[in-house]
């Protein structure tokens, strides 16, 4: 016999966004059913953000040992125990997992069904275990998975994706990475620092979505560490070559063959929609994800879609932001609440990190025109803390309009993900550049690059000939 459930909100997907909706709604008094077919915590906890940052931390530790000589400390070549690196990554996941566990959410009053779900009507889903859930609202938060491109030979060749690479406990001699986006370059640098030779193959530009100048700073560091970056390069085919892999590529019309020990596919993401039977609920979707309006509502007014499955920017904090919109609309009937990405930040966790919010320089040219904005810059080489720590490889760029309103910021440098936050707040608060320039930053900190960049807005006026004359006149009294 089937088991029936009635709910105010049924959430499909126990990743970051889905868990945020479930926890918030349940603790505010709503009846919530959460359906998750795999591991609680979703991609972020199990195969994405958390394990990748743990692996990056391991790579950073190895890099610190290699580069200690610049501080007068004996440097050495670190010995890498790949099995222990894998255990470190798994240990980090395990330490966080209780926060996302079935037990914790059931303790909040959420009904958790560990099953697959599909729509069987506009306001009904059925699980593969025969459970039927009817609800006032549904939230699809099924996330995305690694996109595996239709490359000839790939189906017969062993390869990693972000869903499998963190299980590896064996030494990697030469890792070939297909895809030069954030996932590809983060994992590429981490593996390089752990001793592997690494080649990144990208059809267009590595980190092509970011400001080219700041992305160039990151790419310069990657190459300096020994990574090979092949941009404008198409993968024609792959094949197993003995115990390794062979990748045939084409660059500038010239074909060549790369050989490595392992292959990592990081060529984008695909939304998880295939098993949901969306048509049964009248929900439109495309290959990019479920179609939603500004409030994340689908073509079925009782169903919302959030996070990666809704297309757009695919970040954990975007899914969490979407969750807040859903809470406001479903529980408090604030149906005018719409997504606003004008102050939405993102970070690529390479070394140096690459962080961004708002307009890039190119977007400012397109939106405001060549003479319609000011571009402010400050180098980490002019920051005393960066000099002390030998981390001077970096730059901050800030975009303002002609009236000094802050429109965007990009930082390539150490801890850029932390340093971007004042600019996120400034854009969200529609602040002018004088607000940041007038702040007092502790010395010596890396955060002073923000104050210096902001202060440079006023430099032309402060040190002009007109100002000199005014000062000289006033000093006569």
Q: Is 184 annotated as a binding residue?
A: yes
Q: Is 288 annotated as a binding residue?
A: no
Rounded to 5°, angle at Cα 113 from 110 and 119: 110
What residues are paired with 12 via a beta bridge?
Answer: 35, 140
Q: Is 181 annotated as a binding residue?
A: yes
d(CA 321, CA 50): 18
Q: Is 179 annotated as a binding residue?
A: yes
Q: Is 182 annotated as a binding residue?
A: yes
Asked whether 303 and 140 are in contact (CB, 8 A), the reply is yes
d(CA 445, CA 388): 10
Q: How many CB atoms lie within 10 A of CB 385?
A: 18
Q: Is 53 annotated as a binding residue?
A: yes
> The tokens of 84 are what?
């222990």
Burial 357-374 (b: 16+ CB within 10 A, else e): bbbbbeebbeebeeeebb
Q: Is 186 annotated as a binding residue?
A: yes
Residue 254: Cβ-neighbour burial (10 angstroms; 0-12, 13-18, 19+): exposed
> The tokens of 228 are what?
């090979």
The answer for 351, left when phi > 0, alpha when psi is -120 to 50, beta otherwise, is beta
User: Cα dist. 345→1, 164, 422 in Å?
Assistant: 48, 28, 11
Q: Is 185 annotated as a binding residue?
A: yes
Which ranges of 67-130 does DSSP label H, i.e. alpha helix? 82-96, 102-107
Asked whether 343 and 427 are in contact (CB, 8 A), the reply is yes
Place of tokens 């105010």: 8
- Binding annotation for FAD: 53, 142-144, 308
Annotated binding-site residue numbers: 53, 142-144, 179-186, 202, 268, 308
Binding residues for NAD(+): 179-186, 202, 268
């Amino acid at each position: 016999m089937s088991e029936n459930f009635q709910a105010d909100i049924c959430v499909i997907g126990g990743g970051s966004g889905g868990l945020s909706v479930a926890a918030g709604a349940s603790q505010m008094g709503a009846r919530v059913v959460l359906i998750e077919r795999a591991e609680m915590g979703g991609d972020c906890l199990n195969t994405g953000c958390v394990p990748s940052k743990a692996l990056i931390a391991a790579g950073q530790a190895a890099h610190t040992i290699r580069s200690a000589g610049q501080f007068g400390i004996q440097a050495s070549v670190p010995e890498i125990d790949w099995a222990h690196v894998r255990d470190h990554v798994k240990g980090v996941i395990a330490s966080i997992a209780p926060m996302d566990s079935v037990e914790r959410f059931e303790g909040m009053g959420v009904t958790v069904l560990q099953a697959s779900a599909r729509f069987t009507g506009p306001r009904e889903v059925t699980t593969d275990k025969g459970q039927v859930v009817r609800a006032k609202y549904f939230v699809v938060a099924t996330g995305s998975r690694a996109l595996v491109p239709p490359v000839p030979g790939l189906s017969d060749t062993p390869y990693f994706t972000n869903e499998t690479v963190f299980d590896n406990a064996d030494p990697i001699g030469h890792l070939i990475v297909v895809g030069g986006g954030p996932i590809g370059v983060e994992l590429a640098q981490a593996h390089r620092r752990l001793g592997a030779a690494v080649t990144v193959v990208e059809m267009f530009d590595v980190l092509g979505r970011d400001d080219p100048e700041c992305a160039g700073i990151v790419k310069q560091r990657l190459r300096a560490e020994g990574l090979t970056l092949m941009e404008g390069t198409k993968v024609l085919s792959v094949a197993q070559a003995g115990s390794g892999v062979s990748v045939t590529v084409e660059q500038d019309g010239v074909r060549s063959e790369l050989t490595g020990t392992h292959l990592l596919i990081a060529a984008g993401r695909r939304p998880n929609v295939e098993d949901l039977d969306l048509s049964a609920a009248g929900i439109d979707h495309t290959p990019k994800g479920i179609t939603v309006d500004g409030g994340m509502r689908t073509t079925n007014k009782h169903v919302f879609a959030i996070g990666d499955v809704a297309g757009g920017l695919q970040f954990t904090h975007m899914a969490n932001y979407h969750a807040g919109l859903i809470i406001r609309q479903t529980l408090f009937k604030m149906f005018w609440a719409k997504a606003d990405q004008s102050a939405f930040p993102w970070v690529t966790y390479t070394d140096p990190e690459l962080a961004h919010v708002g307009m890039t320089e190119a977007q400012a040219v397109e939106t405001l025109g060549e003479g319609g904005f000011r571009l402010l810059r400050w180098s980490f080489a002019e920051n005393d803390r960066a000099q002390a720590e030998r981390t001077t490889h970096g730059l901050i760029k800030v975009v303002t309009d002609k009236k000094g309103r802050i429109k965007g910021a990009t930082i390539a440098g150490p801890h850029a993900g932390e340093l971007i936050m004042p600019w996120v707040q400034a854009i969200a608060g529609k602040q002018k550049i004088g607000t940041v320039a007038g702040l007092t930053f502790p010395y010596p900190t890396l955060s002073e690059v923000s104050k210096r960049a902001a202060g440079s807005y006023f430099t032309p006026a402060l040190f002009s000939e007109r100002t000199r004359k005014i000062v000289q006149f006033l000093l006569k009294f």
